[in-house]
Amino acid sequence: NAGVTQTPKFQVLKTGQSMTLQCAQDMNHEYMSWYRQDPGMGLRLIHYSVGAGITDQGEVPNGYNVSRSTTEDFPLRLLSAAPSQTSVYFCASSYGTAAGGYTFGSGTRLTVV
Amino acid sequence: GESVGLHLPTLSVQEGDNSIINCAYSNSASDYFIWYKQESGKGPQFIIDIRSNMDKRQGQRVTVLLNKTVKHLSLQIAATQPGDSAVYFCAENDGGSNYKLTFGKGTLLTVNP
C-alpha cells in the first residue's frame, strides 16, 4: 500500500516553462487536493477534487490547472512557470467525511529561475 | 534544508516535559479540526482530530482541546520525546465539508534532551 505518491521530488524550471506534477493514490479516496507550502505561510489550497471529473478552485488557483480523469490520479499543471511559484507542493487524499483528515504525499520541491 | 520552520512561533521544551501548542481558528462555521505533525523534508502527518460537538479528545500521549467560545484549539503532548520535534499545524474544515481544509501557519516544537 503506497499511499499518496508524488513525482518528481525535485524540479528546477525556467520562467515560462510548463510542467505537470504527478499525484497518485491507491486508497480509493474520493477527495484529493493540492497545497503549496511557503515559509511562514503554512499550507495553502490550490485546487481540490471531490471525485473523478469534478474539480474546484482553492485559495491560490491562479497559474495552475488540474484534471481528475480517474479516482487514482490528480495531476497539477503549471501553465507558464513564474518565480512566485517556487514552493513545496503537496498532494493529499481523503475519504472526506471519515475521521483522519488527509493523507499527504512527501512533496515536490519546485524552483523556478 | 527545509525552510518551513522560518518565521514560525516556536516552543522549546525539555525531554519528558508536557508540551502545549495553541491555535486560534477563524471560521465559526468550522466543525472539524485536525492536528498535523510535519518533520523536516516530509509531508504533514495526521495526529488527532476533533469534531465541534466535543471539547476534548485523547489519543496516545496527545490530547486535543477545543474551545468554540473563543475559537481556540490546543494540542497537548505528554512526556515529550526528541522524536516529537517537528512543526505542528492545526487545520479547520470549511464548515460542513471535511475535504476543504484551511491550515494555520504552524508552531515549531524543539525537544531538548
Closest alpha carbon to B13 in B82, B74, B63, B66: B82
Cα B69 from chain centroid? 19
Contacts for A63 with CB less than 8 Å, ≥ 6 apart: A78, A79, A80, A82, A85
What's the first-to-final CA gap in chain A, in angstroms?
36
A99 or A78, which is more confident?
A78
CA A101 – CA A47 distance, rounded (Å): 17
How far B84 CA lies from chain A's nearest CA (Å)? 18
Mutation to test the B interface, candidates A4, A7, A37, A44, most B Cβ within 10 Å: A37
pLDDT digits (tens, 9 = 90+) for B32-77: 899 999 999 999 999 999 999 999 999 999 999 999 999 999 999 9
Q: What is the pLDDT of residues A45-70, one digit of tens each?
A: 999 999 999 999 999 999 999 999 99
**All cell numbers assigned to A13:** 524550471
Identify all chain A residues contacting B97, using CB atoms and an 8 Å cutoff. Answer: 96
Contacts of A43 in chain B (CB under 8 A): 44, 89, 103
Q: Which residue among B6, B8, B43 sits closest to A104, beta carbon to beta carbon? A: B43
